[in-house]
């Protein structure tokens, strides 16, 4: 095994998917607090206000807000040395634009961070994980308004200053490349679907505003990276890209070309800007040809250049195929599906399992960016069953993770500078895509159901001891 001796092993979460306490400690409403529970066949709805009688899973989630000591102790028991979490902007600035932060919100994160450190973990903090304050959505239409750049910087400065000696690893925006896609307009950029100025006559998407908002968010991210380096030069700040690895479905040159363009547009563009500080030529041309190239205000180009990230952090769950053949079989996926790969099997949620694709991705990213890499999400969502004796035998999860860890090992052997791995959802939490509890990723089972019923009791799954062993042996005992 080739994992470096200080390799970072742990798990990743997002505030809105596990904290609960959505209206406690002075927290303001955030986008997920208005997203209803869904399912494989039922899309989540975003409602303008909280509707009576409807279940919103972020409100309670798994109540980490009141269980954090117990949960962090369990992560410590597995020997995690890193823990990825997000800070919920609306706990710190309830509407997003107050002048002074909410002390009660900060006090909660003070305790969580101290508890992590006490239990042997270095925190990795995401500043914006699909949970923009509703004040930012309703008053500003999210990042489509340039004023939001400085509101985000104010929030980032508040928490980066407060935790400058306790937190080394930061991510600005979760899966920011999602902001280049129509369904990322609200989730990543905060564009209000109920706003007629952006969406006239029932329009569902607005590409021009989207790429302007994404540009503004990229500027905000770069400003925060530069600011972070001033606050503490030792900070390691990353981008976070949902790397949708894709293959041409056939060797037909048209398929190969289409796949290349897909890769540049959805998997590479945002990471290219965040690592290199300039818009890549292919993207500039693409946007100009469509007349949607964003307005650069004076100084933007310099800001992007000055605020390049220190590490390339990304999520990896599955791969898809691309082809010009519209009749090819479809498969599901994270953020977007694609065409099915005849050599791969998919999970119950239609995500194709592809450990070799992770090795391929790591080699590809090392070659392209030549910087430290971190896999900050990876895992298997499965409808685990709690047995009458309180056990959960999740061998399928162990198999999935073993194969992906082997793929990382192999990529390191081939030169990938991989510094850490935080698997997604070490404790069961609410699914971002479907809002369900049924789609479980954890080593720790939480007795919580899709409708909000359940005792919230925590149970160790079989994979708990397995992962502990993996970490203790630094990836040798798989
Ligand atoms: C990523 C998100 C996470 C997480 C994960 C799994 O896109 O960053 O928040 O939820 O996907 O997706 P899901 O929860 O839909 O299974």
What's the pLDDT band for 80 if we cut at 50, 70, 90?
Answer: very high
Burial zone of 232 (CB within 10 Å; 0-12 exposed, 13-18 middle, 19+ buried): middle
pLDDT number for residue 40: 81
Residue-wise DSSP of 231-282: H-TT-EEEEEEE--EEEESSS-HHHHHHHHHHIIIIIIHHHHHHHHSS--HH
Calpha distance 338→323 (Å, rounded)? 9
pLDDT in tens, 150-174: 999 999 999 999 999 999 999 999 9
Beta strands 458-460 and 444-446, pairing class? antiparallel
Region 410-415: mean pLDDT is: 98
Pick the atom of ligand 1 nearest to 381's CA: 16
Q: Which domains does the chain show, CATH number per domain?
A: 8-473 (3.20.20.80)
Residue nearest to atom 16 of ligand 1 (CA): 431
User: Which segments of 19-63 does DSSP mark as H helices, in order?
Assistant: none
For residue 431, the CA-to-ligand 1 centroid distance in Å is 6
Q: Could you tell me how many helices (H) and strands (E) the chain has, helices first? A: 14, 14
| Ligand 1 shell residues, CB under 6 Å | 14, 17, 174-175, 242, 315, 334, 377, 381, 424, 431-434, 439
**pTM score:** 0.98
469 is catalytic: no
Question: What tokens does 12 get?
Answer: 């990743």
For residue 232, the CA-to-ligand 1 centroid distance in Å is 30
Burial zone of 204 (CB within 10 Å; 0-12 exposed, 13-18 middle, 19+ buried): exposed
> Has residue 37 got a pLDDT over 90?
yes
pLDDT number for residue 297: 98
Catalytic residue among 131, 175, 359, 436: 175
For residue 376, the CA-to-ligand 1 centroid distance in Å is 11
103 is catalytic: no
CB contact at 8 A, 312 and 295: no
Residue nearest to atom 2 of ligand 1 (CA): 432
Contacts of 283 (CB under 8 A, 6+ apart): 264, 265, 269, 272
Catalytic residue among 131, 185, 359, 377: 377
pLDDT number for residue 294: 98
């Amino acid at each position: 095994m080739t994992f470096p001796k200080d390799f970072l092993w742990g798990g990743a979460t997002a505030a809105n998917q596990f904290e609960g306490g959505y209206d406690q400690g002075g927290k303001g409403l955030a986008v997920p607090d208005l997203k209803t529970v869904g399912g494989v066949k039922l899309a989540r709805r975003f409602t303008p206000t909280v509707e009576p009688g409807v279940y919103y899973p972020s409100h309670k989630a798994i109540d980490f807000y009141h269980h954090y000591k117990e949960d962090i102790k369990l992560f410590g028991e597995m020997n995690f040395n890193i823990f990825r979490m997000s800070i919920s902007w609306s706990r710190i600035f309830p509407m997003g634009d107050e002048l002074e932060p909410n002390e009660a919100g900060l006090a909660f994160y003070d305790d969580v961070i101290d508890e992590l450190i006490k239990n042997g973990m270095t925190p990795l903090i995401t500043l914006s994980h699909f949970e923009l304050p509703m004040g930012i959505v309703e008053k500003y239409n999210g990042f489509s308004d340039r004023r939001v750049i400085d509101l985000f910087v104010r929030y980032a400065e508040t928490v980066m200053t407060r935790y400058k000696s306790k937190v080394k690893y930061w991510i600005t925006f979760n899966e920011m490349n999602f902001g280049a896609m129509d369904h990322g307009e609200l989730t990543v950029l905060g564009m209000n679907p109920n706003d007629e100025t952006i969406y006239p006559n029932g329009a569902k998407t607005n590409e021009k505003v989207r790429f302007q908002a994404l540009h503004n968010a990229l500027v905000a991210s770069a400003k925060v990276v530069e600011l972070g380096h001033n606050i503490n030069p030792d900070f390691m700040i990353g981008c976070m890209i949902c790397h949708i690895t894709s293959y041409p479905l056939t060797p037909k040159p048209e398929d190969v070309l289409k796949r290349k363009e897909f890769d540049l547009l959805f998997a590479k563009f945002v990471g290219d800007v965040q690592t290199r500080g300039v818009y890549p030529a292919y993207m500039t041309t693409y946007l100009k040809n469509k007349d949607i190239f964003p307005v650069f205000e004076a100084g933007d180009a310099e800001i992007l250049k000055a605020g390049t990230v220190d590490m390339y952090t990304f999520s990896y769950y599955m791969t898809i195929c691309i082809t010009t053949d519209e009749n090819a079989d479809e498969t599901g996926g994270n953020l977007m599906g694609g065409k099915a790969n005849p050599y791969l099997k998919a999970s119950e949620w239609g995500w194709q399992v592809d450990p070799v694709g992770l090795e391929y991705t790591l080699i590809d990213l090392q070659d392209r960016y030549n910087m430290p890499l971190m896999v900050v999400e990876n895992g298997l969502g499965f409808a685990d069953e709690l047995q009458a004796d309180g056990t959960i035998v999740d061998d399928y999860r162990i198999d999935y993770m073993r194969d992906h860890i082997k793929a990382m090992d192999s990529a390191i052997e081939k030169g990938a500078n991989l510094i850490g791995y935080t698997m997604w959802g070490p404790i069961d939490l609410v699914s971002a895509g479907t809002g369900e509890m049924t789609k479980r990723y954890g080593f720790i089972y939480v007795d919580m159901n899709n409708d909000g019923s359940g005792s919230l009791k925590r149970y160790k799954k079989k994979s708990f001891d397995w992962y502990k062993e993996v970490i203790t042996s630094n990836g040798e005992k798989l």
